[in-house]
C-alpha cells in the first residue's frame, strides 16, 4: 500500500540509539520517502548523527525538551529550511531512576514534576510551534508513545504510569484543540520492548518475560511493527482517527487472566 508520504516532512524526537522506538519509526518514515529532522539530547549526539546518515536526514538538531530555547530553535530551523511540516513523532520520556523502583508512596515532589514535565508536558510544548507549520501544509499528524501503565498499576512503573496517564489526556485535549486545523494527535501503546529507557524500570525483565508468555500472540513487539503503525497513522489513510490510544501490544491489554 502506498502511504502517500513520499516527499513529506517529519520531525522525530527521542532517538538515543539503534534500539530506540523513535529509530524504528524514523526508518519506517524514511522508507516511505519522507524527509526527516532528527533531534537528540546532548549526550546522544554522536549516536544520533551516525543513525541520521543512514536515513539521509537533512536536519539533525539538539532538543532537550526541558529547554524552551532549544525547542524554539528547532522549529525556527524547520520553518527556515522547509516552511512546512507534515508529521511530528514524540517518542521520549524520563523519570529519575529512584522513582522507577520501590514503593510509589515514596515518590518525591521533584521526581513527580520532572517525570510529568519531560514525559507529558513536552508533547504540548512541541505541538504548539509545530501546529502553524502543519496548518501551512494543509494537514498534520502528531504521534506519541504511551504504555498500559497509564491505566493499570504496574510494579516499578510508578510515577511513569502517572506521566503516561497525563500524556494520554494531553493527546485528547490537543486533538480537540488542533482538529479544526486538520491536525490529528494520536498515541501508540506497545508492550514492553528492550530499550535504554526500559532498562531503568525496576523489574522490567520480568514484565517483558510475562508479556511474551501470556500475550495472545505469545511474543512481544518487534520494532518494525511499531514503525509500520506509526507510518500508517502519519498518513492520509488514517485521516479519520484522532485523540486515540492505539494499542499494538501483541494482544495483552484485553486479556482477563
Ligand atoms: P529510549 O531510551 O530509546 O528513548 C527515550 C528517549 O527519551 C531518549 O532518546 C532520550 O534522549 C529521550 N529523552 C529523555 N529525556 C529527554 C529530554 N529532557 N529531552 C529530550 N529527549 C529526552 O527508549 P524507548 O523505549 O524507545 O522510549 C521511547 C518512548 O516509548 C517513551 O515515551 C517510552 O515511555 C515509550 N514506551 C516504551 C516502551 C518500552 O517497553 N520500551 C513501551 C511503551 C512505551
Q: What pLDDT digit, counting tens, does each position of 7-33 carry? A: 999 999 999 999 999 999 999 999 999
How many whole angstroms from 197 Cα to the centroid of ligand 1? 5
The rounded distance, in Å, linking the Cα atoms of 149 and 228 is 23
Kindly give the distance from the C-alpha atom of residue 98 to the centroid of ligand 1, in angstroms, as a whole number: 17
Which of the residues in the chain have pLDDT under 50? none
- Give the span between the Cα atoms of 147 and 245, in whole angstroms: 9
Phi, psi values for residue 145, rounded to 5°: -115, 130
Ligand 1 pocket test: which of 62, 92, 221 has the largest number of ligand atoms within 8 Å of its C-beta? Answer: 92
Instruction: Measure 90 CA to ligand 1 centroid, in angstroms.
Output: 9
Region for 170 from its dihedrals, namely left if φ exceeds 0, alpha if ψ lies in -120 to 50, beta otherwise: alpha
What is the residue extent of each domain of the chain? 9-248
Atom 31 of ligand 1 has which residue's CA nearest to it? 92
Topology (CATH level 3) of domain 9-248: Rossmann fold (3.40.50)
Out of 40, 121, 157, 252, which one is annotated catalytic? 157
| Residue 147 falls in the annotated catalytic set | yes
Cα 146 to Cα 78: distance, rounded to the nearest angstrom:
26
> Per the structure block, which three cell numbers stand in for 138?
494543509
Q: Is the CA virtual torsion 212, 207, 114, 197 positive or negative? A: negative
Q: Output the ligand 1 site: residues, CB below 6 A.
A: 14-16, 19-22, 41, 44, 63-66, 91-94, 118, 145-147, 190, 192-193, 195-198
Residue 118 Cα to ligand 1 midpoint, Å, equals 10
Q: Is 247 a residue of the active site? A: no
Degrees, nearest 5: CA angle 95-143-122: 40
Amino acid at each position: 500500500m502506498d502511504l502517500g508520504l513520499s516527499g513529506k516532512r517529519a520531525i522525530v524526537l527521542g532517538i538515543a540509539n539503534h534500539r530506540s522506538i523513535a529509530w524504528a519509526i524514523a526508518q519506517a518514515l524514511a522508507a516511505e520517502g519522507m524527509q526527516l529532522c532528527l533531534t537528540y539530547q546532548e549526550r546522544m549526539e554522536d549516536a544520533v548523527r551516525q543513525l541520521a546518515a543512514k536515513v539521509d536526514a537533512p536536519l539533525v538538531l539538539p532538543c532537550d525538551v526541558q529547554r524552551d530555547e532549544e525547542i524554539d530553535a528547532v522549529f525556527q530551523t524547520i520553518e527556515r529550511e522547509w516552511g512546512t511540516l507534515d508529521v511530528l513523532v514524540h517518542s521520549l520520556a524520563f523519570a529519575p531512576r529512584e522513582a522507577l523502583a520501590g514503593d510509589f508512596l515514596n515518590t518525591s515532589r521533584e521526581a513527580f514534576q520532572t517525570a510529568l514535565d519531560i514525559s507529558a508536558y513536552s508533547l504540548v510544548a512541541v505541538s504548539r510551534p509545530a501546529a502553524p507549520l502543519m496548518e501551512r501544509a494543509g494537514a498534520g499528524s502528531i504521534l506519541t508513545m504511551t504504555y498500559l501503565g497509564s491505566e493499570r498499576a504496574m510494579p516499578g512503573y510508578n510515577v511513569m504510569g502517572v506521566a503516561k496517564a497525563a500524556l494520554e489526556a494531553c493527546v485528547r485535549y490537543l486533538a480537540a484543540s488542533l482538529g479544526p486545523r486538520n491536525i490529528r494527535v494520536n498515541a501508540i501503546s506497545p508492550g514492553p520492548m528492550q530499550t535504554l529507557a526500559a532498562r531503568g524500570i525496576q523489574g522490567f525483565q520480568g514484565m517483558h518475560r510475562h508479556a511474551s508468555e501470556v500475550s495472545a500472540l505469545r511474543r512481544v513487539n518487534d520494532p518494525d511493527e511499531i514503525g509500520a503503525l506509526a507510518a500508517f497513522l502519519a498518513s492520509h489513510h488514517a485521516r479519520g482517527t484522532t485523540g486515540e490510544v492505539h494499542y499494538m501490544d501483541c494482544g495483552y491489554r484485553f486479556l482477563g487472566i
